[in-house]
Structure 1
Amino acid sequence: MFEIVDKELLAPGIYRILVKAPLVAAKAAPGHFVIVQAIEDGERIPLTIVSAQDDCIELIFQVMGVSTALLAELEPPAKLPALLGPLGIAPEVSPGEGTVLCVAGGVGAAPILPRARDYHQKGRKVVTILGARSKELLLLVDRLQEVSSELHICTDDGSAGHHGFVTDLIPEVSRRHKIEEVLAIGPLPMMAAVCKITKQLSLPTTVSLNALMVDGTGMCGACRVAVGGETKFTCVDGPEFDGHLVDFTGLANRLCQYREYEQTAYDGYRKERGECQCLNG
């Protein structure tokens, strides 16, 4: 059992939790993730390790369905029945002076923070573009500012920063900086749009994929994705891949397979608890 020692509401429907997991914290590196369960025999939820502090790991999640809603119900000192990790391949960052463009959308700010921090600590110049639907949903602004030489804010509704999408700013930023690589993390359509632009600009681009996962060892095949015409497994081969080689259309179709069932289950959950409005954020 893994104790939740701290919990914070970051934005409507988005939570930060600190979980006691000494063995995981000791081995965690930027880019690693864990798979957690909110209840016994519950659905497995993959979450990026945002940071490892002493014997605890920091996780950030958004309520999207029954499983994450159940996770949001837990209050310290509640315990998670299962936590597996660290999982995935932690990319190696070589010390240097090149500029990295980090592009984050929505909750993608959580997985991009440890990677941006790692680049910064290795001496790389980090320029970050952070986007969200509205000002209230912007995450980790101060922490991203600390590791970025420049931080550009975008909101869909214009309530903060640039009125528009993260993709609007990429050409202008790339003209002012000699970008060596791009890291994009966020909703699938956003990452696909970023990769379309960076391919035109000949900028190497890495994306972090959040696919369906069950066991976290590649045995179930639920997290498979086509990359450069080859089948890869997000849990063991990723979660980061060359964005210009990812079959975003195929992945989007796979992620939609269970959407109707998930929505039906979530509607039932909210009706049961009489919390339809508050969990919608």
Structure 2
Amino acid sequence: MFPIVKTQRLASSIKLLEVEAPLIARKVKAGQFVVLRRSEQGERIPLTVADWNRERGTLTLIFQEVGKSTLELGRMGEGDEIQDLIGPLGNPSEIKHYGTVLCVGGGIGIAPIYPIARAFREAGNRVLSILGARQRELLILEEEMRALSHELWVTTDDGSYGRQGLVTDELRRLLEEGDRIDMVLAIGPPVMMQAVCRLTALHGLKTTVSLDSIMVDGTGMCGACRVTVGGKTRFVCVHGPEFDGHQVDFEEYIQRKRMYLAQERQALERFRQGGTEGKDGRG
């Protein structure tokens, strides 16, 4: 069992959990993820680690409550225990000195981009950041990202904060102004990452994306997380989660992520109508 030592509501639908997991905290690196199961009957949920404290032996996990399982996870509080937590999984980010690195985070994607951006800064890179959200209330980790970025820009879809528009609008401005950028990291909704890659491809700019495919075991056995990269089948859990964004078949990736959308909606509707499950996931 893995005790929750801290909870924090970052936005109306976004929650932070700090979980005691000393063995994972000792080894995790930027870009890696864990798979958790809230209870014996719970669904396996993959989450990129947003931060860690090796001395305290804790992991920071940030997630958005969008379906039944994440809503149940969001109901957990300090002192509650997560049934299972495995990791660190996946390959760490390739951290080295590129020169100027631009980090583009959209929505909940800002959470996994934070430790990677920090690692880039620690490696001596000039870090630029663009953060995007639908509205100001959904923007997370701005202060943390601003503290490690040499420059940072914010966009919101509705114009409630920062520049009105998309992260690609700000990216296009930077590229047109000729600011030297050596590498781009983009994490966010699939359509956002796809749009970023289309734009950077026009400039021949190295672009890495982090994918969050549907996943079951997280160790390469089930094949649920497969994606096509450079015309070859790859598993996000063991070959990723980071890939060359210009090589990812985003159309297939997006289609596969929507495979169980109808079932997810049905489960969420039953849950909102009351269902029969209690806090521990049992009837």
Same fold (TM over 0.5): yes
**Which residue does 1:173 correspond to in 2?**
174
Per-residue CA deviation, residues 8-31 of structure 1 (Å, 9 max, x unaligned), is 000011000000000000001101
Q: Map residues 158-237 of structure 1 onto 2, 5 A cutoff.
A: 158-174=159-175, 175-237=177-239
| Equivalent of 2:62 in 26, 37, 60 | 60
The letter of the residue matching 1:249 is E
SS in 1 for 2:78: coil
Asked if residue 19 in structure 1 is aligned to residue 16 in structure 2, the reply is no
**Which residue does 2:3 correspond to in 1?**
3
**Which residue does 1:124 correspond to in 2?**
125
Alpha-carbon distance in 2 for matches of 1:251, 1:32: 20
Query: Is the contact made by 1:50 and 1:114 (CA closer than 8 Å) also made in structure 2?
Result: yes
Gap runs ≥5 in structure 2:
276-283
The letter of the residue matching 2:273 is K
**Which residue does 2:73 correspond to in 1?**
71
Q: CA RMSD in A?
A: 1.2
Gap runs ≥5 in structure 1:
274-281
Task: Give the Å deviation of 1:60.
Answer: 0.2
Alpha-carbon distance in 2 for matches of 1:75, 1:93: 34
Alpha-carbon distance in 2 for matches of 1:68, 1:93: 30
Which of 165-174 and 142-151 deviates more?
165-174
Per-residue CA deviation, residues 92-136 of structure 1 (Å, 9 max, x unaligned), is 31246x000100000000000000000011110010000000000
Alpha-carbon distance in 2 for matches of 1:176, 1:199: 15
The letter of the residue matching 1:43 is E
Q: How high is the TM-score relative to the length of structure 1? A: 0.95
Q: Map residues 89-128 of structure 1 onto 2, 5 A cutoff.
A: 89-95=91-97, 98-128=99-129
SS in 2 for 1:85: strand
- State the identity %: 48
| Equivalent of 1:252 in 251, 254, 257 | 254
Alpha-carbon distance in 2 for matches of 1:23, 1:210: 23
Alpha-carbon distance in 2 for matches of 1:94, 1:245: 21
Alpha-carbon distance in 2 for matches of 1:122, 1:173: 23
Query: Is the contact made by 1:99 and 1:177 (CA closer than 8 Å) also made in structure 2?
Result: no
Alpha-carbon distance in 1 for matches of 2:35, 2:230: 26
Task: Give the Å deviation of 1:176.
Answer: 4.2
SS in 2 for 1:118: helix
Query: Is the contact made by 1:33 and 1:86 (CA closer than 8 Å) also made in structure 2?
Result: yes
The letter of the residue matching 2:12 is P
Q: How high is the TM-score relative to the length of structure 2? A: 0.94
Alpha-carbon distance in 1 for matches of 2:73, 2:83: 11
SS in 1 for 2:74: helix
**Which residue does 2:270 correspond to in 1?**
268
Alpha-carbon distance in 1 for matches of 2:33, 2:223: 18
Alpha-carbon distance in 2 for matches of 1:192, 1:92: 20
SS in 2 for 1:52: strand
Per-residue CA deviation, residues 145-183 of structure 1 (Å, 9 max, x unaligned), is 011011100000000011000000112213342111100
The letter of the residue matching 1:125 is R
Alpha-carbon distance in 2 for matches of 1:39, 1:271: 21
Alpha-carbon distance in 1 for matches of 2:86, 2:262: 28
Alpha-carbon distance in 1 for matches of 2:90, 2:259: 24
Q: After TM superposition, where is structure 1 displaced by more than 6 Å over at least 4 residues in a row?
A: none
The letter of the residue matching 1:215 is D
